[in-house]
């Protein structure tokens, strides 16, 4: 679970959709998570997906999970300037106690 | 519900001094709390797992004598950075796992910015 990869930067125009990708390593993870971090702040849980699901939708957020490829994505519809932040995917390992975070994707929304 | 606080939010200290950071679960009990460190523009690195009433478990490469962790109650864990040096400057974030369980969810504190001069 130590190597959770994400692309570092993403820029989108306000109103467009954003897609943030993540590849993880531990196929036994029961859940996978997406967190948002605004500048100088802690992490806010956005959403999570159970490992036996392919997709989960929560208002503007859609999570897609491809277990075969160990690929997770977060789609934000109608992206707003308030969505500008760093987004981390995270997988629990070690029996669910330890979280390993991705490298983080810095999303910039252009007005 | 499920709010985690940290105190202080920001601290500046001189090299060689010790700094204590508190992490509290405000409205729930947490048998397990976690301490992370985040360097600028980098991801979070798990430092240690803190269990109430027992010794903390440190990740490889983290000095337990340098980063003292005490989990004295179900709502409080403290991290003490002993004899701090400029390389210890970082953003420290704690998280707490809800006693009632849930999908392995951890609730994160707002972080503490430590600057060592």
pLDDT in tens, B77-96: 999 999 999 999 999 999 99
**Candidates A40, A48, A106; nearest CB to B103:** A48
Distance from CA of B103 to the nearest CA of A (A): 7
Please tell me the predicted confidence (pLDDT) of residue B11: 96
Residue with tokens 């409205």: B27
**Spatial distance between the Cα atoms of A102 and A6, rounded to a whole number of angstroms:** 6
Please tell me the predicted confidence (pLDDT) of residue A24: 87
pLDDT in tens, B27-62: 888 888 999 998 877 788 889 998 888 889 999 999
Q: Which residues contact A37 (CB under 8 A, 6 or more apart)?
A: A43, A44, A85, A86, A87, A88, A104
**Candidates A43, A44, A97; nearest CB to B32:** A97
CB-CB neighbors (< 8 A) of B111 in chain A = 40-42
Report whether pLDDT(B99) > 90.
no
Please tell me the predicted confidence (pLDDT) of residue A2: 57
Please tell me the predicted confidence (pLDDT) of residue A93: 72
Query: Is any Cβ of chain B less than 8 angstroms from the Cβ of A44?
Result: yes
Query: Is any Cβ of chain B less than 8 angstroms from the Cβ of A73?
Result: no
CB-CB neighbors (< 8 A) of A42 in chain B = 4, 6, 93, 108-111
Please tell me the predicted confidence (pLDDT) of residue A73: 97
Strands across the sheet with A61-66, in order?
Answer: A5-6, A18-23, A71-76, A61-66, A55-58
Report whether pLDDT(B1) > 70.
no
Please tell me the predicted confidence (pLDDT) of residue B2: 78
Cβ atoms A89, A74 nearer than 8 A: yes
In which residue ranges of chain A is pLDDT below 70?
1-2, 94-97
Mean pLDDT score of chain B? 89
Cβ atoms A37, A104 nearer than 8 A: yes
Please tell me the predicted confidence (pLDDT) of residue A96: 60
Please, what sign has the CA dihedral across residues A9, A14, A19, A22?
Answer: positive
Strands B32-38 and A18-23, sheet pairing: unpaired
CB-CB neighbors (< 8 A) of A40 in chain B = 111, 113
Cβ atoms A38, A106 nearer than 8 A: no
The confidence band for B16, taking pLDDT boundaries of 50, 70 and 90, is very high
**Spatial distance between the Cα atoms of B97 and B46, rounded to a whole number of angstroms:** 14
Pairs across A and B, CB distance < 8 A:
53
Please tell me the predicted confidence (pLDDT) of residue B107: 86
Distance from CA of A30 to the nearest CA of B (A): 8
Inter-chain CB proximity B111 and A99 less than 8 Å: no
Query: Is any Cβ of chain B less than 8 angstroms from the Cβ of A50?
Result: yes
């Amino acid at each position: 679970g130590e190597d959770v990869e994400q692309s570092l930067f993403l820029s989108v125009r306000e109103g467009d959709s954003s897609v943030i990708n993540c590849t993880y390593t531990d196929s036994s993870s029961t859940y996978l998570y997406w967190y948002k971090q605004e500048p100088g702040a802690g992490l806010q849980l956005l959403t999570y997906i159970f490992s036996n699901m392919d997709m989960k939708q929560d208002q503007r957020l859609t999570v897609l999970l491809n277990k075969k490829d160990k690929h997770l994505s977060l789609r934000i519809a109608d992206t707003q300037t308030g969505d500008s932040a760093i987004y981390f995917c995270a997988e629990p390992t070690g029996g669910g106690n330890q979280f390993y975070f991705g490298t983080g994707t810095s999303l910039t929304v252009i007005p | 519900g499920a709010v985690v606080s940290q105190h202080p939010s920001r601290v500046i200290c001189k090299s060689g001094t010790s700094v204590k950071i508190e992490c509290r679960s405000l409205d729930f009990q947490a048998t397990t709390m976690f301490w992370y460190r985040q360097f600028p523009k980098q991801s979070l690195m798990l430092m240690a797992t803190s269990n109430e009433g027992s010794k903390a478990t440190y990740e490889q490469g983290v000095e337990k004598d340098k980063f003292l962790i005490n989990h004295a109650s179900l709502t409080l864990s403290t991290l003490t950075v002993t004899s701090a040096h400029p390389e210890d400057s970082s953003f420290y974030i704690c998280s707490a796992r809800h006693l009632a369980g849930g999908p392995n969810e951890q609730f994160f504190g707002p972080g503490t910015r430590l600057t060592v001069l």
